Amino acid sequence: MHEALLVISTFLASSVEMVEALTIVLAVGLTRGWRSALLGSGAALVVLAAVVAVLGPAVGHVPLAPLRLFVGALLLIFGLQWLRKAILRAGGLKALHDEDAIYRTAVEQARTTAATGREMDWYSFTVAFKGVFLEGFEVVFIVVTFGASAHQLGPAAAGAFAAVIIVGTVGVVLRSPLARVPENTMKFVVGIMLTSFGTFWGAEGAGVRWPGGDSAILGVVALVALSSIGLVLVLRRRLALSEAR
């Protein structure tokens, strides 16, 4: 159960980040040519793979309790801000993430920026590198922290890898931003999972013995999910009342 939740969480988190990276790469690739955009994306993937290769085995040598406390705290803080943003978006207090609008802006910027050379278009390379690296870095962070806390780097990486393959393949086939992916809903679920796992591992690292052992994670997920949905409903109601006045 624990392992399945872990794989689902890394898969969803990686999918939303991949959709965002894909939007940027498609915008520069379709507007200015594929060579430099793909080289930039490939270079970012190589750097990210190197980060995982260095960090992954290194965290495996750290004792589990202090590692879970440190990584759990980090994951909890990271998850809290992710969940807060998702609740504010779902409640209508923050604009929803719109891949179509982001794509249009990126295309406009790519068109208005002059090409810098004949052989290599450094604008495309840099934009694609930055997009893939920054979005991918969040995936690496989640995979390494999840993998380290559960001592299951393999399943965590498998979830992320599956997302990269699926989203990448769909993007290559469609050659358009994946605006139909329910990205905001996925982000909401990922926020719940990050916060729940951060709570579970952080408390365990601090010395807590959970009633029911590992199955307590299900209770934590349920509590965080229900309270988040409740907050979304409160936000929507308050905003509706305020607009009705």
Tokens 């604009």: give the residue.
95
Count of H helices and E strands in the chain? 8, 0
Give the range of 34-42, 124-132, 167-175, 202-210 binding other proteins by CB under 8 A: 202-210
d(CA 168, CA 184): 19
Nearer to other proteins, 120 or 206 (CB): 206
Residues within window 226-245 making contact with other proteins, judged by CB under 8 A? 227-228, 231, 234-235, 238-239, 242, 245
- Least CB distance from residue 80 to other proteins, whole Å? 5
The full 3-state SS of 33-95, as one line of letters, equals CHHHHHHHHHHHHHHHHHHHHHHHHHHHCCCHHHHHHHHHHHHHHHHHHHHHHHHHHHHCCCC
Is position 81 an interface residue for other proteins (rule: CB under 8 A)? yes
Whose CA is closest to 135, among 5, 11, 17, 14?
17
Based on the shown chain and the rule CB under 8 A, indicate whether residue 202 belongs to the binding site for other proteins. yes
Q: Of 204, 187, 188, 189, give the one whose Cα is nearest residue 73.
A: 204
With CB under 8 A as the rule, give the number of residues binding other proteins: 45
Tell me the per-residue interface mask from 107 to 146 with other proteins, x by CB under 8 A, - otherwise: ------------------------------xx--x-----
Per-residue x/- track, 54-73, other proteins (CB under 8 A) = ---------------x--xx
Contact flag: residue 83 with other proteins (CB under 8 A): yes
| CB of residue 205 to other proteins, shortest distance in Å | 8
Question: Cα torsion at 16, 133, 200, 91 (round to 10°)?
Answer: -40
Q: Is 91 in the site for other proteins (CB under 8 A)?
A: yes
Which amino acid makes up residue 237?
A: R
| CA distances, 100 to each of 22, 153, 180, 181, 183 (Å) | 12, 34, 10, 11, 12
**In the complex, what is the shortest distance from the CB of residue 219 to other proteins, in angstroms, rounded to a whole number?**
8
Instruction: Please select the residue that binds other proteins; options are 26, 157, 194, 220, rule is CB under 8 A.
Output: 220
Please tell me the distance from the alpha carbon of residue 124 to that of residue 175, in angstroms, as a whole number. Answer: 17
Q: Rule CB under 8 A: which residues touch other proteins?
A: 69, 72-74, 76-78, 80-85, 87-88, 91, 93, 137-138, 141, 195, 198-199, 202-203, 205-211, 216, 220, 223-224, 227-228, 231, 234-235, 238-239, 242, 245
